[in-house]
Each structure stands twice: as structure tokens, then as C-alpha cells.
């Protein structure tokens, strides 16, 4: 276990699939502590999905006590209902974060931070995330990989 570290909880918000990652920095080296994709069923009522997501996010804060929450900004959705639901998830997460410092990043800002190019594709993002953290395997699914990228962006674009 790593001690005396700075930890960032990165979240790629969603209500069907919520990506999350804990990245720590010790002596200038970034380390992936844990990451995953929390899924809720389309057959579960939306309010219950929110409760499940909220409980999971609370557990992440309690288990890892991050120094910073880095979360992807709601940028563009062609489906207005989806956008509203994701916005509600983000609001709930920001509420759960409480006094934890929070940084929000657009997808283009995250791509710029990780790949040096604001229009990088998913494969480029996953490859660079793997390289930056010296991972043995490319992170997947996409939501998990995106959350790792959000956490790395937060680690390097904040005053921790």
C-alpha cells in the first residue's frame, strides 16, 4: 500500500455505466490504485439507479479519501433525456464530494492533457493512458479508461 500520497478520484459520469479511477502520485510517479466501471440495469427504475450510483460513489470516497475529485463536464448529448439524466448524476456526485476540492474538465481538455491533441480518438487515449501509467494491459471498457484519463488530468492540472 502507498502512503503519504496525493490521490485523485476520476469519474466519467453516466447512469448506465459510470467509470471511476483512483490515481495516486508519490515522488512524482503516477500510480493507478484502482479503477472500474459501475453499471446499472436498464430494467431498474431510474431513481433506484441513482441511489445505487450514489451509494457506490460514497463508498469510493470512504474507501480512498481522495484529495481531489476530477469529473468530466457534460459537454454534448444529442439525446436531451440522456443529457438530463447524466446531469443529475453529476449533481449527485458533486453533492457527495462535499468539501473535497473538485475540478471539471471537458472531453477536449482531457484529450489535450493525455494525448497532446484535443481531438484524439478512444484508441489513442487508451494507448497513452497505458503508457503514462506503465500498465500491462490497455484499460477497458471505455468508461473505465476515460475515468483513468480524467483522474490523470486532475492530478496534473490542479494545485494538490
Give the separation between CA 39 and CA 17, rounded to whole angstroms. 4
59, 72, 104, 146: which one is catalytic? 72
- Cα separation, 88 vs 14, in Å, equals 9
**12 catalytically annotated:** yes
Q: Which CATH number fits domain 6-156: 3.40.50.970, 3.30.420.10, 1.10.260.40, 3.40.630.40?
A: 3.30.420.10
Grid cell of 75 as nine digits: 459537454
Residue ranges per domain, the chain?
A: 6-156
Q: Which of 12, 30, 67, 146 is catalytic?
A: 12
Does 143 qualify as catalytic in the annotation?
yes
Proportion of the chain above pLDDT 70, given as a percent: 92
145 burial type by CB count under 10 A (0-12 exposed, 13-18 middle, 19+ buried):
buried
- Which parts of the chain register pLDDT below 70? 1-4, 75-79, 158-160
Torsional sign, CA 31, 32, 34, 40? positive
Q: Whole-angstrom Cα distance, residue 9 to residue 147?
A: 8
Catalytic pick among 30, 67, 143, 146: 143
Catalytic annotation present for 142: no
Give the model's pLDDT for residue 136.
95
pLDDT of residue 159: 62
Q: pLDDT (tens digit, 9 = 90+) per residue, 120-144?
A: 998 999 999 999 999 999 999 999 9
Amino acid at each position: 500500500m502507498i502512503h503519504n500520497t496525493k490521490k485523485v478520484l476520476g469519474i466519467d459520469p453516466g447512469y448506465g455505466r459510470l467509470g471511476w479511477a483512483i490515481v495516486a502520485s508519490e515522488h512524482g510517479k503516477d500510480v493507478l490504485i484502482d479503477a472500474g466501471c459501475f453499471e446499472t440495469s436498464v430494467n431498474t427504475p431510474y431513481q433506484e439507479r441513482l441511489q445505487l450510483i450514489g451509494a457506490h460513489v460514497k463508498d469510493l470516497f470512504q474507501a480512498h479519501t481522495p484529495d481531489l475529485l476530477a469529473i468530466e463536464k457534460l459537454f454534448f448529448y444529442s439525446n436531451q433525456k440522456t443529457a438530463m439524466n447524466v446531469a443529475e448524476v453529476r449533481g449527485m456526485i458533486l453533492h457527495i464530494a462535499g468539501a473535497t476540492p473538485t475540478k471539471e474538465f471537458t472531453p477536449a481538455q482531457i484529450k489535450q492533457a493525455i494525448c497532446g491533441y484535443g481531438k484524439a480518438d478512444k484508441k489513442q487515449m487508451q494507448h497513452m493512458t497505458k503508457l503514462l501509467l506503465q500498465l500491462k494491459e490497455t484499460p477497458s471498457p471505455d468508461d473505465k479508461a476515460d475515468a483513468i484519463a480524467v483522474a490523470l488530468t486532475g492530478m496534473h492540472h490542479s494545485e494538490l
